[in-house]
Amino acid sequence: MAEPSTFKVTREIKREDILLCLAPGVQSERVFAGSSDGKVYEFDCSAEKPELAALEGHSGYVTGIARAGEQVISGGYDGQLIWWHAEKREKVRAVKAHQRWIRAVEAAPDGKTIASVADDMVCRLWDAESGALKHELRGHEAMTPQHFDSMLYACAFSADGKLIATGDKVGHIVIWDMATGASLATLEAPGMYTWDPTARIHSIGGIRSLAFSPDGQLLAVGGMGKVGNIDHLEGKTRVEIFRWQAKERIAEIHGDKSKGLINDLAFHPSGEWLLGAGGDGKGALLFIDVAQMKVARDEAAPAHVHRFLLNAAGNRIHAAGHNRLTVLEAA
């Protein structure tokens, strides 16, 4: 098994834009990335000139992307979901999927369902092949307790595809049954939300990432700890881990050194460790020993990380972030 201590940067592809999301390509060295310039790019990370193509169709930030079989589905600030043929790099269809910013797009493990979450506070499940709407999951309030607009940042499927979890700005989490669309449990992580009632009359934080353990028993939740000055990402990186069926929080883990948001989470396929990534002005990689529920490695990343991909073998990471795409591999 790849050990957290052995991961090293093996390639950096520098960019003018910000890469906001990632999906696997049709080959192991290829990835699709959504950009701050409104385009989807395909990269061959093994090539001397890695950028293969730009797919144009969005009118704002592309903040969610997933691959399902021969199709890549992207979503973003314009509320659209766009289906692309992964090999031909052609648009298949576009759907006005949400009334507000789509924050994340995920594919079920079997590739048959696509989930999208947006600031209209709805998670929608789509048939990956036809684009037909399958379920609308409504379990998040549109307003924060202080009567400001909330946001729905994150969703994640369980490895068996039977569950999906969603998490919002104020720390409210819902676990749903994929077959029926029914709510199975709710959890709360208020420590990831900071409200400033005095100076800024504003808030920061929220649940930015979710991940089920391979056996589906644990749910990891990523964000940032409490903040003094909400104009800055000065809180410590924060991960909470729940036994979700018992509604039991079993760990609250802060980065030893890193500050800012945990924007993405993934368990190693063995379940032995968990990786969170994000940061503040700098990037952060936070490896967590699951058996001991403590930080195994808190490492600076080359740039703030928005999303990453951990390959099926658990020994390679592609990380998308500010002005670069980074590849890390275990020795």
Q: Is the pLDDT of residue 110 over 90?
A: yes
Stated pTM of the model:
0.97
- Distance between CA atoms of residues 67 and 71, nearest Å: 6
Q: How confident is the model at residue 39 (pLDDT cuts 50, 70, 90)?
A: very high
Tell me what the mean pLDDT of segment 7-12 comes to.
97
pLDDT of residue 159: 98
pLDDT value of residue 199: 85
Statement: residue 51 has pLDDT above 90: no
Task: Count Cα atoms within 13 angstroms, Cβ side, for 140.
Answer: 35
> In this model, does residue 53 exceed pLDDT 90?
no
Residue with more model confidence, 183 or 228: 183
Q: Shortest CA distance to 221 belongs to which of 258, 182, 192?
A: 192
Selected residue with higher pLDDT from 192 and 1:
192
Ordered DSSP codes for 83-116? EEETTTTEEEEEEE--SS-EEEEEE-TTSSEEEE
Percent of the chain with pLDDT over 70: 100
The answer to whether residue 140 scores a pLDDT higher than 90 is yes
Mean pLDDT of 184-204: 94
Assess whether pLDDT exceeds 90 at residue 200.
no
All structural domains of the chain, each given as residue ranges with its CATH number in brackets, are: 4-330 (2.130.10.10)
Through-space distance between the first and last CA atoms of the chain, rounded to whole angstroms: 11
Confidence tier at 148 by pLDDT (50, 70, 90): very high
pLDDT digit string (tens) for 240-276? Answer: 999 999 999 999 999 999 999 999 999 999 999 999 9
Buried b vs exposed e over 218-231: b needs ≥16 C-beta within 10 Å? bbbbbbbbbbeebe
Distance CA 8, CA 301 (A): 10
Q: Across residues 74-90, what is the average pLDDT?
A: 96
∠ CA 45-102-21, rounded to 5°? 15
Reported residue count of the chain is 331
Average pLDDT rounded to a whole number, residues 282-305: 97
pLDDT-wise least confident of 34-38, 167-171, 202-206, 216-220:
202-206
**Predicted confidence band of residue 306 (pLDDT cuts 50, 70, 90):** very high
CA distance 7 to 323: 21
- Amino acid found at 107: A
Report DSSP letters for 260-326, one per residue.
SEEEEEEE-TTSSEEEEEEESSSEEEEEEETTTTEEEEEEEESS-EEEEEE-TTS-EEEEEEEEEEE
230 pLDDT band, cuts 50/70/90, is confident
**Average confidence (pLDDT) over 64-91:** 97
Q: In the block, which residue shows the tokens 């199709």?
A: 71
Structure tokens given for 246? 């018992």
The residues facing 55 across adjacent strands are: 40
Q: How confident is the model at residue 231 (pLDDT cuts 50, 70, 90)?
A: confident
